Amino acid sequence: MYLYSLTLQQATGIVCAINGNFVGGKAQEIVVARGKSLDLLRPDEAGKIQTLHSVEVFGAIRCLAHFRLTGSQRLRRRRLGPGRIVIMEYHKEKNCFHKLYQETFGKSGCRRIVPGQYLAVDPKGRAVMIAACEKQKLVYVLNRDTAARLTISSPLEAHKSHTITYSITGVDCGFDNPIFAAIELDYSEADQDSTGQAASEAQKHLTFYELDLGLNHVSRKWTEPIDNGANLLVTVPGGDDGPSGVLVCAENFVIYKNQGHPDVRAVIPRRADLPAERGVLIVSSATHRQKSMFFFLLQTEYGDIFKVTLEHKRDEQDRVHVTELKIKYFDTIPVTSAMCVLKTGFLFAASEFGNHALYQFQAIGDGDDVEASSATLMETEEGFQPVFFQPRGLKNLVRIDQVASLMPIMDMKVMNLFEEETPQIFTLCGRGPRSSLRILRPGLAISEMAVSQLPGVPNAVWTVKKNVNDEFDAYIVVSFPSGTLVLSIGETVEEVSDSGFLDTTPSLAVSLLGDDSLMQVHPNGIRHIREDGRINEWKTPGKKTIVKVGSNRLQVVIALSGGELIYFEMDMTGQLMEVEKHEMPGDVACLDIAPVPEGKQRSRFLAVGSYDNTIRILSLDPDDCMQVLSVQSVSSPPESLLLLEVQASTGGEDGADHPASVFLNAGLQNGVLFRTVVDMVTGQLSDTRSRFLGLRAPKLFKAIVRGRQAMLCLSSRPWLGYIHQGHFLLTPLSYETLEFAASFSSDQCAEGVVAVAGDALRIFTIERLGETFNETIIPLRYTPRKFVLQTRKKFLVIIESDQGAFTAEERESARKECLEADGVGENGDANNVERMENGVGEDEEKEDPLSDEQYGYPKAESDKWVSCIRILDPKSGNTTCLLELQDNEAAFSICTVNFHDKEYGTLLAVGTAKGLQFLPKRSLVSGYIHIYRFIEEGKSLELLHKTQVEGVPLALCQFQGRLLAGIGAVLRLYDVGKRRLLRKCENKLFPNTINSIHTYRDRIYVGDIQESFHYCKYRRDENQLYIFADDSVPRWLTASHHVDFDTMAGSDKFGNVYFVRLPQDVSDEIEEDPTGGKIKWEQGKLNGAPNKVEEIVQFHVGDVVTCLQKASLIPGGGECIIYGTVMGSLGALLAFTSREDVDFFSHLEMHMRQEHPPLCGRDHMAYRSAYFPVKDVIDGDLCEQFPTLPPDLQRKIADELDRTPGEILKKLEDIRNKII
Amino acid sequence: MKELVSPKSTIDLTRVPNASDRFNINSQLEHLQAKYVGTGHADLNRFEWAVNIQRDSYASYVGHYPILAYFAIAENEAIGRERYNFMQKMLLPCGLPPEREED
């Protein structure tokens, strides 16, 4: 089995983010690393975050920093994967990152002493330090050669053995020798001293490393003990701007330190409701610098942002003294992994879980708020006096945009619950109060601008400009079976009668002709409306009527009934002149003319589709007018044709070196979209592609997307074909079936679409281009763990649980208390619980001064758990039942089960643990299996009984009318009793903890948390469970899926996906063993099972996969394994069906590896084989980078494969279309 | 920068060692142990081995962001807090060292 791996949705979480000016000009951009991909984002004028560029790097990006070489106007940026530092800049012209320099310093991945964990740049851009968790620190000197190119020195070592590094930063010391600061801890003595005294005396130090540029040498300049809770360093501006030095962020404190300067210390204010044993840790920081002032924004692990300012003054010797450090409460936003303060007054907050947000500054925290200061720091006998505050609503920030993030995907199911054409992906995302159920549908989201009812059922709509130079459309023309309606576009859209259009007849086409005249084609003739109001009418001869029209700005071709074509051209005086007639063999089904090329008189090609299943290309040149240039036969009569210019590849925005090719698109009556390339000279057709779009014949329309030509295809659902980052994408729109559409442009909406469906006229725009999925969000209460489908009523049953949180009642009473204390009125908060689960709307959020989504749940002791079981109707998004578990119980597993005796029908089993604690050792009071009965037609639950068990039931599964439960290392079979579950059979031979159970016939596939899969068999006559096969590799299983009788798919904690299969002969032997005696008495070696499964597929995804499912995302498409990851990405593994494809793609992958090594310098093969050698999986993400290669390289690879670049692109498109 | 040389290329294990070589190999091993933290030796005790493994694991957790996030979800803590906890645990990952046998 060979698989093709394709990422469907890039990771949506953010590892780190930096802001700066990368493109040039005044704009500020943000570069975000999403683990293995790198994106360049920019907030546009409207405050929406736009993605300028995104690239997959096939490596783990751990740290980003940016710098500007002195004297250089260009900002450069740098990033690094494991063991490598890469310096790159952004090429505006080519729209890509360009690697300037790459230096390898470790080849063995993210390890303890391989530098790369930390990265610090000298604020003047002269040097860079890279540090590992332990011991190693390397300093590179950055310089430029005579040609002003960047050069990088060989690394200077600043290693210190037995030393752990917590954070490093560059110290701003003007143009003196560059200095780097590091928080270090020496453990050598603690490792030797068995009394523990050395360990308790171990002290973190702040060390300054000086790079002597003259001697080219790094030395430890200064070191001093600091608070043992220190975890983060922040550079303080120096030189003329500030006092230099660093801010040391420690648990509960922020300390200003500099060489030869006394410490200035202030406490971080704490939330009043925080348990006493919890500290306050700074997790992310941002610095804002202006000419006259600077301040820092530090965010704590609870989401509170503090503004830190330094009071400083210069003494006589021109030394700067910091006199006071102030920490003031600023605002509270969800916890971030990185914050960026943009010069344009925005704050980009990259949330660690859940949606990212862009905030605008309303104020900079000058108001009256809780403030801790070094001046008022009080030291008592127990330590420093804490300062308390109460979080409040946003005062200084206002949220203006959100970027969706699925991180983390906890569970996923692909189902078609809504009976739509394609299945929906139900994902459980997020954590704590920000968790949600997200329903993903492949396709682009649209936003509806207007819907208006029309007096009848229209059959067509057009938009038309009055003048070719107009920016916006002037009229919307709607055709009905018996008339035509003209609407003028202005402030409002209203009916007009002075447009010159004939309104008593239906229309076949309406368009702008020449520079400023309009044309209406109706069944009996052509009406040409000149700019001065004169009207020329051309009537059809005899009783013939016009059936089809094709036109561009200067040419019109009409098809009369019977198959006669008449060709008109516009002459110099603006008159429409008949040029040629041509008799076609039969009736014309559809026709189209390509737009007039720039600087030409006419377009050369006319495409005509006939009912005899052919499409002909006819010439419109005067010398061979109406000659058939080529004929293409198709599988079904064409319904609609469109000639569209597509840039097959990018290299530059202008496409100068990639001439655009013209594609002939045909919508066939069997629902297939047929695309073929038209040779610009000969008119020959080649390179055909077809794709099934829906049950109705696609109608094709021109549209404009981002200023480029695009295509709307209306089948049983609408599709958009457009160019995104060099790829031609054909994506469904999440909208209802449309009849007819036209592009629409007005000053409210620059690139919209007007369409008719039923008796309504709809105007909409298409949002977030380039995204594969659009989502519907239903908020949940706690971190969702798992969910199952209640099959009869199609409700979802979700279990949610959170550690260290208060129950809803406790929270509610605490909230009331605190609001009363604050003097805030009740404010209708009593029904807050209700609101939480039924979705907090935008406006409701404003009412609620302390929404949990923004502020997080208050922290409780770590051994407290809250949990709930919810029944949710996915259609309406309503929760029909919510059971909050009591007594510190938390739900971990769920399944539906039908027991043998049909007394109860379908029951719900939920595995819970009471008082679970992970540290110092996993312990619990007891586990339970709850059995619930569905009542009120599945809308609600009733507890039947609960059975105490000795461990955490992490896996439950129905098996032959009984319930299989994995309780710790025990696999046990239960039957239902009146008051509790009854043990029937068990097997205690599993190595650690069972975390998944799948069953098929009498086989049971058990996944162990550390030891991969175990294949078991249940023998009913003996009532025994045997393990007959297991895996030889210890896999830390995170997700599993049953593929077929002998095969399981699994994923491990380290980011690998793998398939194991029981060898055929072993499988046969097991099945043919009638007595079962053989398996029973067979002994394995080293406590293992007698048989071993074989690994047949192995692939490193680079992200922890949390859910796997076999599904087909499109009707008629191949089944593939869909996976979701912690970082919020979705991917698919598709099995190849032919050997040829395997050969082709493995060769393409091989050439891509050679010719286009990944951007971050990680060897692609090494990356995909990070833990185990990659086996039988072809990386589609690498193959799909083919179109981004320069054309000569594309040709080179294509030649090696004995194909043309076009054929390769087609192959790539084809295989993608099989998946989504 | 000194070349990073893998252990294989510095010690030729196929040669039959003589007395002076043995001394040489030992010194080379010592050099490797100093350079590559975690390189084992014949007298490594259980505790030292475990400490190394634990430190390597924590460094790996901190280095791989998705794993860090995975832990953070399990413990319901911020990712930054989780990273800090792991770094703190690198000091004494296996508790206090056993008492040395005086010999």
Q: How confident is the model at residue A291 (pLDDT cuts 50, 70, 90)?
A: confident
CB distance A157–B69 less than 8 Å?
no
Radius of gyration over every alpha carbon of chain B, rounded to an integer in angstroms? 19
Torsion of CA A777, A778, A780, A785, to 10 degrees: -70
**What are the chain B neighbours of A57 within 8 Å (beta carbons)?**
none
Q: Is A407 on the interface with B (CB under 8 A)?
A: yes
Q: Is A172 on the interface with B (CB under 8 A)?
A: no
- Alpha carbon A512 to its chain centroid, in Å, reads 41
Number of separate helices (H) and strands (E) present in chain B: 5, 0
Report the residue of chain A nearest B97, measured CA to CA: A194
Residue A415 has a pLDDT of 93
Burial, A706: exposed, middle or buried (Cβ in 10 Å; 0-12, 13-18, 19+)?
exposed
Strand pairing report for A588-593 and A576-583: unpaired
CB distance A110–B78 less than 8 Å?
no
Give the percent of chain A with pLDDT over 70.
Answer: 94
Token pair in block for residue B28: 């080379």
- Listed ranges A314-328, A719-733, A967-981, B27-41; the one with the highest mean pLDDT: A967-981
- Complete DSSP assignment for A844-905: HHHH-TT-HHHH-PPB--TT-EEEEEEEEETTTTEEEEEEE--TTEEEEEEEEEE-SSTTS-
For the stretch A561-618, pLDDT in tens is: 888 999 999 888 888 889 889 998 888 999 999 888 877 888 889 999 999 999 999 9
Mark which residues 100-129 of A lie under 8 Å from B by CB. 105-106, 110-113, 116-117
Give the separation between CA B90 and CA A162, rounded to whole angstroms: 11
Q: Is A158 on the interface with B (CB under 8 A)?
A: no
CB distance A1054–B78 less than 8 Å?
no
Q: Which of B3, B53, B58, B76 is best to mutate for the A interface (most A CBs within 10 A)?
A: B76
- Is pLDDT at B49 greater than 80 in this prediction? yes
Q: How confident is the model at residue A1206 (pLDDT cuts 50, 70, 90)?
A: confident
Token pair in block for residue A82: 């494991």
- Is pLDDT at A912 greater than 80 in this prediction? yes
Question: Smallest Cβ distance to A301: which of B36, B37, B78?
Answer: B78
Answer for the pair A934, A940: CB distance below 8 angstroms, yes or no.
Answer: yes
CA distance A1007 to chain B (A): 19
CB distance A112–B38 less than 8 Å?
yes
Alpha-carbon separation of residue A224 from A227, A246, A983, A1007 (angstroms): 10, 13, 63, 51
Residue B24 has a pLDDT of 78
Provide the CATH topology of domain A1136-1219.
DNA polymerase; domain 1 (1.10.150)
CA distance B41 to chain A (A): 17
* pTM of this structure: 0.90
- Alpha carbon A981 to its chain centroid, in Å, reads 43
Residue A9 has a pLDDT of 92
CB distance B51–A191 less than 8 Å?
yes
Give the separation between CA A556 and CA A554, rounded to whole angstroms: 7
Q: Name the more confident of A687 and A660.
A: A687
Instruction: Indicate the domain borders of chain A.
Output: 1136-1219
DSSP state of A35: S
CB distance A134–B75 less than 8 Å?
no
CB distance A918–B74 less than 8 Å?
yes
CB distance B87–A117 less than 8 Å?
no
Average pLDDT estimate for A771-776: 87
Average pLDDT estimate for A391-404: 90
Alpha-carbon separation of residue A521 from A462, A467, A1088 (angstroms): 12, 19, 80
CA distance B60 to chain A (A): 6
**What are the chain A neighbours of B73 within 8 Å (beta carbons)?**
353, 408, 410, 431, 783, 1126
Q: How confident is the model at residue A850 (pLDDT cuts 50, 70, 90)?
A: low
Q: Strand locations in B1-103, DSSP E?
A: none
Answer for the pair B25, B41: CB distance below 8 angstroms, yes or no.
Answer: no
Give the separation between CA A340 and CA A78, rounded to whole angstroms: 16
Report the residue of chain B nearest A13, measured CA to CA: B66
Answer for the pair A1099, A1176: CB distance below 8 angstroms, yes or no.
Answer: no
- Is pLDDT at B9 greater than 70 in this prediction? no
With tokens 């074989």, the residue in question is A1094
Report the residue of chain B nearest A157, measured CA to CA: B1
Q: Tell me, what's the ipTM? A: 0.90
The residue type of A1191 is P
Report the residue of chain A nearest B33, measured CA to CA: A161
**What are the chain B neighbours of A193 within 8 Å (beta carbons)?**
96-97
**What are the chain B neighbours of A140 within 8 Å (beta carbons)?**
none
Token pair in block for residue A168: 């490093």
CB pairs under 8 A between A and B: 149
**Helices A1205-1219 & A1191-1200, crossing angle to 10 degrees?**
80
CA distance A877 to chain B (A): 25
Strand pairing report for A1091-1092 and A1024-1030: parallel
Spell out the long-range contacts of A619-626 with Cβ–Cβ below 8 A and sequence spacing 24 or more.
A619/A683, A620/A555, A620/A557, A620/A567, A620/A593, A622/A579, A625/A567, A625/A579, A625/A580, A626/A565, A626/A567, A626/A580, A626/A581, A626/A582
Residue A70 has a pLDDT of 57
Residue B18 has a pLDDT of 61
Report the residue of chain A nearest B100, measured CA to CA: A194
